[in-house]
Amino acid sequence: MSHTLEHAIGDAATERHELGHGVAARLQAALKGSTVDYSFPGMVTVHLRSGAVARCGGPAIGWLVDVVRRPGADPETIDVGIADDETDAERIADALTRVLRRR
């Protein structure tokens, strides 16, 4: 029983991980001049062309965005309005892109 449960948790984690990579790849293509990184613990980090840094929650912890406009500044937290159960990487990336292009 415990082996089956561990496998089910592993499958869900793998799906979330792959979703994060898909979102990051789409953001990289959409935000020209920016650098996008997806890494542990499931955060998508975008170094925007403007110099601001955006940390996007990711599939494991929700898609809120924290934007820091300059080093040491307080972050601005933005609720992008993406449902926690959204699994379409294109829809997620589109919503994040709309918010991040204004930063």
Q: Please determine, for residue 3, whether its predicted confidence score (pLDDT) is greater than 70.
A: no
For residue 13, what are the domain limits?
A: 2-101
In tens, the pLDDT along 13-68 reads 677 778 888 999 999 999 999 999 988 667 899 999 999 999 988 766 778 899 99
The pLDDT value recorded for residue 10 is: 59
Rg of the chain (C-alpha set): 15
Q: What is the pLDDT of residue 53?
A: 95
Where residue 102 falls among pLDDT bands split at 50, 70, 90?
A: confident
44 to 3, 5, 6, 19, 52: CA distances (angstroms): 31, 28, 26, 11, 14
CA dist 98 and 96 (Å) reads 5
Evaluate if residue 5 carries a pLDDT over 60: no
Question: What's the structural domain count of the chain?
Answer: 1
CA dihedral sign, ordered 32, 35, 39, 42: negative
Which of the two residues, 53 and 12, has the higher pLDDT score? 53
